[in-house]
Copies of this chain bind each other. A is one copy, B any other.
Amino acid sequence: MPLGQRAGDKSDSRFSGVEVLDFPAGECLPAVLSHSLSSGFDFLLAPLVDPAYRPTPGAVLPVAASDLVLGPSQWSSHIVGKLSEWIDLDAEDEQLRLDSELTLKQEVAWASHLSLQACVLPTPRRSSCGNYARVVNQILQGLTNMQLWLRLPLEKSEPMDGDHDKVKNSDHMTEMDDSWELWNSFRLLCEHSSQLCVALDISSTLPSMNSLGRWFGEPVRVAILQTNAFLTNARGYPCLSKRHQKLMTGFFNHSVQTGCSQVMKATMKKMDPLPEQERFEINYRDFLQSPLQPLMDNLEAQTYETFEKDIVKYTQYRRAVAKALVDRVPDDSVSTTKTVLMVVGAGRGPLVKASLQAAEETGRKLKVYAVEKNPNAVITLHSLVKLEGWESVVTIISSDMRCWNAPEKADILVSELLGSFGDNELSPECLDGAQRFLKPDGISIPSSYTSFIQPITASKLHNDIKAHKDIAHFETSYVVKLHRIAPLSPPQPVFTFNHPNYTPNASNQRYTKLQFDMPPDMGSCLVHGFAGYFDSVLYKDVHLGIEPSTATPNMFSWFPIFFPLRKPIYVPLGSPIEAHFWRCCAPTKVWYEWAVTTPSQSPIHNSNGRSHWVGL
């Protein structure tokens, strides 16, 4: 359940809160809460313990309000605990360190008792915070539901109390001026705990968009607008700069809640409702699915149903077939030439339909073979042909295209065997098999396809995979609607397949080494894995695909693919990422292996397809 209780869509980013700066002792808290709720806010970020308190043997913790002052659901839905800001676990002073440890543990225990959903950890006072991380990590081991949000400035404006000089690493200063570095170091020490999140303080100045963008792949739970982040507009009301508005929209789109640093009724711009397609996809956001095994498994009716609804995709196929028909049959031969078109993997018939539409459009005569290996789909195909009256045009073949003995050769071979990563559903192997019954000058639609990858930050995906506690899940590729991720460098092509392919001894094994460069103003980053896409040339200039820069609009048949890394790789400012992708083939299976070699070496993932493979 997200914080706040307003009606709305399923996104938890529509809620906003207010930070209480003073200490609302005793009966004061309900009043502050009630005022804030009536001002349109959803939750309070409030101190839980008197900031003047220091641990004293035998003393009772001076809490802001007894647990009876608010009801249990009020505590849990409307209060985020703010832990004492004097806490300094990496102080030189040993007594202050020990007091800080005791107080932090006591306050978190109190917050747990109140069933709060989250507490905000004070901003680290130093760039080196090993002891702070150790104490937080100990607390995290014992927490069941509550989250801890580490509060960090989006941009570090003031120098931290410094132990900079103790570290000799030359570019350490620059790195540590970037609060993302602090976050990264903290969460690595805490083993990527899924309950450790971020609360970002937004002030008047903002770093570059590339630097900001990294946070979209991190578990940022709230963006806290400081008073100085607001400008005053012509009428004297507070407003946000264009860049701040853009940032807040970005956070909104990545499901981050907002808060203000003091009681000020900020008029948050009303966001547009989600478009139809996104509403459909919202339940799939960052949800990891295993890719289909269409060769080994027969698809279910439900799956056909979903894919057949993708009008955009079949429009592209219709356009491609039409162009191929026109190229193949000159206008003056239309009445004398019949084109043999074979749909391999016809499913329940959408490509047959698209092809016949193309023939009608262009006035070309068609003889269609619809080859399908799933006997259940074949039943539907027969009904369709009968229903549409295509008996004289369409021949249905219930067979695997790789072993069908075709009675004649085809002019055009049409297929839709592509996966999110292009060749990952074994289109190359299937079409190699079908190529036997294509005429030497015949056309394959698609005529080629290329996979793409790009490195991304995706802490949520990493944590979801880590929850399985095994290596196999980190060596599997997933189909996933990417949402809370940060792309780090533009996608690059990986493997290309062309059809038909008459190269002798052609192999479908592939190896590609890629180098990704990061924008120079982005800062360092953490790579959790690679997002994968494809683009396919159906015929000449008709393509379809999901590679972001050229993606076919409004097509929903494919989500991206995600190749995780067993251990996320830190990429220091200025370093490229060198990645290796292999497509390996054995007699009964095909699989990918992948590895990173720069800036540091990952193990080679999925050796021999031990964790994940696609069956032939």
Contacts and interface: CB of A to CB of B under 8 A. Distances in A.
Interface of A: 97-98, 128, 130-131, 133-134, 137-138, 141-142, 166-169, 184-185, 188-191, 507, 509, 511, 513, 515, 517, 567, 570, 575-576, 578, 580, 582, 593, 595, 597-604, 607-608, 610
Given A167-B578, A169-B575, A607 B138 contact: yes
Contacts of A133: 595, 604
Contacts of A570: 600
29 contacts: A97-B511, A98-B507, A130-B597, A131-B511, A131-B582, A133-B604, A134-B580, A134-B593, A134-B604, A137-B603, A137-B607, A141-B607, A141-B608, A141-B610, A142-B608, A167-B598, A168-B515, A168-B517, A169-B575, A169-B576, A185-B601, A188-B601, A188-B602, A188-B603, A189-B601, A189-B602, A189-B603, A190-B604, A191-B603
Contacts of A131: 511, 580, 582
A595 B509 contact: no
A141 B609 CA distance: 11
A305 to B, nearest CB: 40
Nearest to A166: B515
A576 B167 CA distance: 8
Contact of A134 (B98, B190, B515, B595): B595
A561 to B, nearest CB: 20
Given A168-B517, A189-B595, 20 more contacts: A128-B578, A130-B513, A131-B511, A131-B580, A133-B595, A133-B604, A134-B604, A137-B604, A138-B608, A168-B576, A169-B575, A169-B576, A188-B601, A188-B602, A188-B603, A189-B603, A189-B604, A190-B603, A190-B604, A191-B604
A134 B551 CA distance: 33
A128 B604 contact: no
Nearest to A97: B511
What's the number of copies of this chain in the assembled complex?
2
A189 B597 contact: yes
A134 B583 CA distance: 12
A313 B128 CA distance: 41
Contacts of A511: 97, 131
A606 to B, nearest CB: 10
A169 B597 CA distance: 12
Report the 5 A-B pairs with minimum CB-CB distance, sorted nearest first. Answer: A188-B601, A191-B603, A130-B580, A137-B604, A137-B607
Contacts of A599: 169
A170 to B, nearest CB: 8
A120 to B, nearest CB: 21
A509 B98 contact: yes
Contacts of A517: 168
Contacts of A141: 607-608, 610
Nearest to A57: B505
A37 to B, nearest CB: 38
Contacts of A189: 595, 597, 601-604
With most chain B CB atoms within 10 A of its CB, the pick from A600, A607, A610 is A607
Contacts of A185: 597, 601
Contacts of A167: 515, 576, 578, 598
A169 B98 contact: no
A599 B133 CA distance: 17
Contacts of A604: 133-134, 137, 189-191
A595 B90 CA distance: 15
A595 B166 contact: no
A605 to B, nearest CB: 10
A602 B515 CA distance: 26
A550 B200 CA distance: 51
Contacts of A507: 98
A598 to B, nearest CB: 6
A131 to B, nearest CB: 6
Contacts of A603: 137, 188-191
A189 B189 CA distance: 23
Q: Which of A567, A595, A602 has the most CB of B within 10 A?
A: A595
A502 to B, nearest CB: 17
A50 B511 CA distance: 28
Nearest to A599: B169
Contacts of A598: 167, 169
Contacts of A608: 138, 141-142
A186 to B, nearest CB: 9
B138 A595 contact: no
A558 B169 CA distance: 36
Contacts of A137: 603-604, 607
A162 to B, nearest CB: 15
Nearest to A142: B608
A575 B189 CA distance: 19
A570 B130 CA distance: 19
A592 to B, nearest CB: 11
A304 B547 CA distance: 71
A138 B604 CA distance: 9
Contacts of A184: 601
A582 B169 contact: no
A541 B598 CA distance: 52
A597 B128 contact: yes
A166 to B, nearest CB: 7
A61 B98 CA distance: 71
Which of A184, A580, A597, A604 has the most C-beta atoms of chain B within 10 angstroms of its own C-beta? Answer: A604
A168 B188 CA distance: 27
Nearest to A89: B511
